[in-house]
Structure 1
Amino acid sequence: MTSATAFGTSGALARGLIDAGWSPSAAVTVRILVAAAVLAVPVLLTLRGRWGLVVEHARLVTLYGIGAVAAAQLCYFQAVARMDVGMALLIEYTAPVAIVGWLWLRRGERPSRLTIAGAMVAAVGLVLVLDLVAGGSLDVIGVLWALAAMVGIASYFLLSADDSSGVPPLVLVGGGLVVAGIGLVLAAVVGILPWTSSTDDVVYAVGTVPWWVPLLAIGVIAGAFAYMTGVAAARRLGSRLASFVALTEVLAALVFAAILLDQVPSPLQVLGALAVVGGVVLVKLGEPRPAGEPEAMPAVAGLDADGR
């Protein structure tokens, strides 16, 4: 929940930067580079010269950096540049449904009827969230970016929960941030990603701040701190339960968007948001608990499999 709350600040902070003249790719690149710099010393202390560990698991670290960090963040920032923060995040957090589908295809873990019902409820909720019933305008490109971010966040939960490699969480996060940062910088240099930045003050509903304040906030709070606590949680809870608890990010993002951007959803969209969250809860409840995975209530309370 701590990780989810920290992540929940990113959309509102980024939207302020984008409105001030920053491109989504520039904002996300600086966020990742700042987070990588913050974690550099702790990562080195954790490795204690064991560089062979990184080389041995270079594929895992690279996949984490490209999918769980770069793709997820970039697509989400592209989405919030075109639509409300809360709406983009609600689409992104249909990721648990994608995880269920992936586990079904990859491991043959067939979803239960309750899981299927939950997916249908979440789908109905998305229709309300996107304001389709009321005839609201739909930014198709924004929705596609949010769906792409959903794939990225699904890979974040799956890769973060995999502790079979023996890679320490801090090393996985730090290495992934470095890979993501280098990849985004190279993409900007060769012209694949547009890069625009500005030193103009950033205007939020609560006031105006210098441009470097939100940049540091999304790098330190919504970057390094959020990823570090998120991986630590996923290692203890598993991908399913971690993605369930992380739904609190939706609530946090809606609150921060209302405070910082004055983005308040309509009553119909609130009903849709509740349906999306409720559908994902049904998806979670309908899935069998793998052998050896801790029970839901102790895990949410912060206990590991041994009850500590």
Structure 2
Amino acid sequence: MPVHTSQGSQSNRGRGVGLGLALASAVAFGGSGVAAKPLIQAGLDPLHVVWLRVTGAALVMLPLAVRHRALLRRRPALLAGFGLLAVAGVQACYFAALSRIPVGVALLIEYLAPALVLGWVRFVQRRSVTRAAAVGVVLAVGGLACVVEVWSGLGFDPLGITLALGAACCQVGYFVLSDQGTEAGDQAPDPFGVIAYGLLVGAAVLTVVARPWTMDWQVLTGTADMNGTRVPAVLLLAWIVLIATVLAYVTGVLSVRRLSPQVAGVVACLEAVIATVLAWVLLGEHLSAPQIVGGALVLVGAFIAQSSAPAQGSAEPVASAGEESELSAREAAA
């Protein structure tokens, strides 16, 4: 009997640590937009900020890539797809959206990804989905309509909203690739290796697309305005690379190992809330009451859609709980 008590206590401690790691991952991911937007407003192109973020994180994770170099032979398609969609696609679309619409709105739209995954399951894979999942999709879409205030003639920049939807679609690709990666069971690729090579692939692609040699490097030597406060640009960049990328991915992976992907994904949904609150406090981006209600509907709908998806063959993230899931929910919701 004492053995069972000890094992239960250890299990509870492990779950507590997992929840703490998942929360840390959500906070880290949620702070990326707040740190990136002042750099964009200071004169850096959104693609250049993404390139700095991904390339810096790839250099930090390079030792893990060397350690798991066998993945290049075993899973080249998975690594390429992960780098193109989960890294380059999601972040490029998200950061480009930040230059046109508020941080909270961009992230809330991105969190339609779990609902869009059900569309993939139903219409592409032709598998049935539960009624609760369908209700979750309806709630998420209705919440999105409130967030963008469709009754006011699309008050936000249509291109910005399209870019945020592009980030959500790239997250759908992340879920699909992750589902393929987990079919191997014990032979599944190590998630740290997938993250490391995904960042390397994303950095290579973004180097061609962003053309960093045209960047205004002097912006990094100055300061950026954060709602009236001047902050060193290099400090914001360090936060984006070390905290909002490396730490966010690593804590997300560790949390998934201690929790079920569904539980980690629910915690990861806090990323949207955290990002909205930080943007409100640090950037002065206030949302109206209908937008706040709509954001809550998006999160609730995404949660219902994800938790009601069929268990068998369901998409589970390889790398993190976000993107964002992210990644995603990034990691499991993003």
Task: Give the structure-1-normalised TM-score.
Answer: 0.84
Residues of 1 paired with 2:270 and 2:165: CA distance?
Answer: 19
* Counterpart among 26, 32, 43 of residue 48 in structure 2: 26
2:113–2:168 contact (8 Å) kept in structure 1: yes
Q: Which amino acid aligns with 1:266?
A: S
* Counterpart among 118, 127, 142 of residue 145 in structure 2: 127
Residues of 2 paired with 1:101 and 1:234: CA distance?
Answer: 24
Q: Which residue of 2 aligns with 1:35?
A: 57
CA gap of 1:102–1:268, structure 2 versus 1, over 3 A, is same
1:174 equivalenced with 2:214 (yes/no):
no
1:142 equivalenced with 2:160 (yes/no):
yes
Residues of 2 paired with 1:130 and 1:292: CA distance?
Answer: 30
Structure 1 stretch 209-218 or stretch 243-252: which is displaced more? 243-252
Q: Which residue of 1 aligns with 2:116?
A: 98
Q: Which residue of 2 aligns with 1:60?
A: 78
Residues of 2 paired with 1:259 and 1:251: CA distance?
Answer: 12
For structure 1, the 5+ residue unaligned runs are 300-308
* Counterpart among 250, 258, 262 of residue 280 in structure 2: 258
* Counterpart among 4, 29, 47 of residue 7 in structure 1: 29
Structure 1 stretch 206-215 or stretch 24-33: which is displaced more? 206-215
CA gap of 1:23–1:4, structure 2 versus 1, over 3 A, is same
Q: Which residue of 2 aligns with 1:69?
A: 87
Alignment of 1:226-237 (within 5 A): 226-233=248-255
1:188 equivalenced with 2:210 (yes/no):
yes
Shift of 1:202: 1.0
Q: Which residue of 2 aligns with 1:278?
A: 300
Q: Which residue of 2 aligns with 1:155?
A: 173
What is the aligned residue count? 289
1:237–1:293 contact (8 Å) kept in structure 2: no
Residues of 1 paired with 2:50 and 2:117: CA distance?
Answer: 25
Residues of 1 paired with 2:292 and 2:114: CA distance?
Answer: 20
2:51–2:210 contact (8 Å) kept in structure 1: no
Q: Which residue of 2 aligns with 1:303?
A: none
Residues of 1 paired with 2:123 and 2:258: CA distance?
Answer: 24
Q: Which residue of 2 aligns with 1:212?
A: 234
SS of the aligned residue for 2:44 comes to coil
For residues 158-180 of structure 1, what are the alpha-carbon distances to aligned partners after superposition, in whole Å with 9 as ceiling and x for unaligned? Answer: 43463325321111111110111
2:129–2:309 contact (8 Å) kept in structure 1: yes
CA RMSD for the aligned pairs? Answer: 2.7
For residues 273-308 of structure 1, what are the alpha-carbon distances to aligned partners after superposition, in whole Å with 9 as ceiling and x for unaligned? Answer: 1111122222134323338999xxxx9xxxxxxxxx
Residues of 2 paired with 1:190 and 1:258: CA distance?
Answer: 31
* Counterpart among 103, 115, 118 of residue 85 in structure 1: 103
2:39–2:49 contact (8 Å) kept in structure 1: yes
Q: Which amino acid aligns with 2:33?
A: G
Residues of 2 paired with 1:218 and 1:68: CA distance?
Answer: 17
SS of the aligned residue for 1:82 comes to coil
SS of the aligned residue for 1:138 comes to coil
1:206–1:260 contact (8 Å) kept in structure 2: no
For residues 246-272 of structure 1, what are the alpha-carbon distances to aligned partners after superposition, in whole Å with 9 as ceiling and x for unaligned? Answer: 211101111221122111211111111
Shift of 1:38: 1.4
SS of the aligned residue for 1:62 comes to helix
CA gap of 1:219–1:293, structure 2 versus 1, over 3 A, is closer
Q: Which amino acid aligns with 1:287?
A: A
CA gap of 1:215–1:26, structure 2 versus 1, over 3 A, is same
Structure 1 stretch 58-67 or stretch 251-260: which is displaced more? 251-260
Residues of 2 paired with 1:250 and 1:159: CA distance?
Answer: 23
Residues of 1 paired with 2:94 and 2:314: CA distance?
Answer: 34
SS of the aligned residue for 2:150 comes to coil
Residues of 2 paired with 1:150 and 1:136: CA distance?
Answer: 19
Q: Which amino acid aligns with 1:202?
A: A
2:178–2:315 contact (8 Å) kept in structure 1: no
Q: Which residue of 1 aligns with 2:331?
A: none
